[in-house]
Chain A
């Protein structure tokens, strides 16, 4: 085991635990376990909000799979990756203040709470809980695999051993700290990610002998690497542009992101978060993907795409610095996993346990159930990750697309269209998920339909279905309650 690399990583993990403990103490002072555990009492400022959104979104794909794809495919993939810049400002502007105001009136703690109050329908709640559990499990398993690979390539421990270490670390600090721990550590992890990315980018450019040298080498390897069309010329403009839906504007509908758009303190915090978030996400995505391409001439012949970043860091940096910088992808993975874990457990606890099993549960019972469910879900994800699929990025993107197809229109139309109703929402969710899965298998067998990513068609289809069904089974225009529901009654 390479201790100069492992030591900084251990220090990182220990720091994270300490933050978890601190948050947990802070939580016991706050009133209302549920609100604080799952939402941090809606008091996050601009920096925390921006960092938690970026860190939740930036995952194993951004730090391992994405740069690995850029290594193989070239600048075409960097171009595709930069569609993610929109996430920095789009989510907060679109859901924006309206979502924050309405969520407060509804006392909503999760995306499902919002849908439940807005549509008043058990079917909507169950469909939503179902999608979250299925698709987020896919996303989570991908992160589990990424985390284990990373620990494996750094320490040389077996895959199973690495997976075990990873699972234990994540579970310990999510179960003790809840949302507040997750958000605070997200901020620390986000800062590590930005600094690590800039360091590594500079080191790779120096190792490659400067920009002009790198571009000359890339052209010598394969001139297509510096075109927008990919190493084999197969990336079309339509396909690359369709990623604007998948990883750009569609991110608005990811439950783990949407829940953060209701957790901020005031509109000033949101304004700052828009600026910070855009800068951070732009720097990270551009930096990491440039590193991926630039690594090609510096370190040719890497076979497993997900290992490009760990290997290049160990190649161009002194070991101790590589250790610090590689805690960035680990940070990204952990911060994504912990949010997903928390979200899946909140679906189970809040949307099923409290709604339908034990509405009068005491704070203590809720607390125990929350922690128990979180732990069980973590262990199941561990078991699923034992025999991992090959490329992380696709499993993760599959989950992204599925969630977006399901939640996009019920969320956005629910906020902005007063004639949106439950029939439209149910039809739209079924159409979105159904067509997404169908087209996913069609595309695997016959190549991409219309030459665009799987998510494109379901997003448009589910919009049409939403509008048509809402109008056919028309209900009277919806008015949001004018004040907090508990007080209004």
Chain B
């Protein structure tokens, strides 16, 4: 029993860590989005510089920001998330609500 509890805590610890990674990603996403949008977009439109046909703030915040998140999410999933079993060891068969 004690051994089993330790094992479950280990799975929960991974889940907790991944939830924190999620918060980190969202924070990074927000800072990038906010920084470029209001950093470059707050001057009058006639002073805007253009990157690949888009005003710079739109390009960096919206277009590039979205692409950066795609890559970052893929890297995080590949290198930081762990494969764990979602069912408890003894129960390899499907669990069902209507049982019993």
Q: Which A residues are closer than 8 A to B by beta carbons?
A: 31-35, 41-43, 75, 78-79, 82-83, 85-86, 88-90, 92-94, 96-98, 100-101, 104-105, 107, 109, 210-212, 215, 219, 223-224, 226-228, 237, 241, 244, 248-249, 266-268, 271, 274-275, 278-279, 282, 286, 363, 416, 480, 482-484, 486-487
Chain B residues packing against A (C-beta within 8 Å)? 1, 4-5, 8, 11-12, 14-16, 18-19, 21-23, 25-26, 29-30, 33-34, 37-38, 41-42, 44-46, 48, 50, 52-55, 57-58, 61-63, 65-66, 69-70, 73-74, 77, 81-88, 90-91, 94-100
Structural contact, B22 and A98, CB atoms closer than 8 A: no
A contact face: mostly helix, strand, loop, or mixed? helix
CB–CB A107/B19 < 8 A: no
B48 proximity list for chain A (CB < 8 A): 226
Which residues of A are found within 8 Å of B86, using beta-carbon distances? 97, 100-101, 104, 266-267
28 A–B contacts, CB within 8 A, in A order = A41-B94, A75-B58, A85-B29, A88-B73, A93-B19, A94-B22, A101-B11, A101-B15, A101-B86, A107-B95, A211-B54, A212-B53, A215-B54, A226-B55, A228-B42, A237-B38, A241-B34, A248-B26, A249-B26, A267-B83, A275-B74, A282-B66, A282-B69, A282-B70, A286-B63, A480-B12, A482-B5, A487-B90
Residues A278 and B69 in contact in the complex (CB < 8 Å), given A100-B86, A211-B54, A286-B62: yes
Query: Is there an interface contact between A94 and B19, defined as CB atoms closer than 8 Å?
Result: yes
Report the separation of the CA atoms of residues A249 and B74 in the bound assembly, to the nearest whole angstrom: 19
Bound state CA distance, A100 and B99, in angstroms?
Answer: 19
State whether A42 and B66 are in contact (beta carbons under 8 Å apart), knowing that A96-B22, A212-B53 are contacts in the complex.
no
Q: B14 touching A97 by the CB < 8 A rule?
A: yes
Quote the shortest CB–CB distance from B47 to chain A (angstroms). 11
B26 touches A90 (CB 8 A): yes
Measured CA separation A263–B53 after assembly (Å): 43
Q: Determine the residue in chain B with the shortest Cβ distance to A105.
A: B88
A residues within 8 A CB of B50?
212, 215
Residue of A nearest to B83 (CB): A267
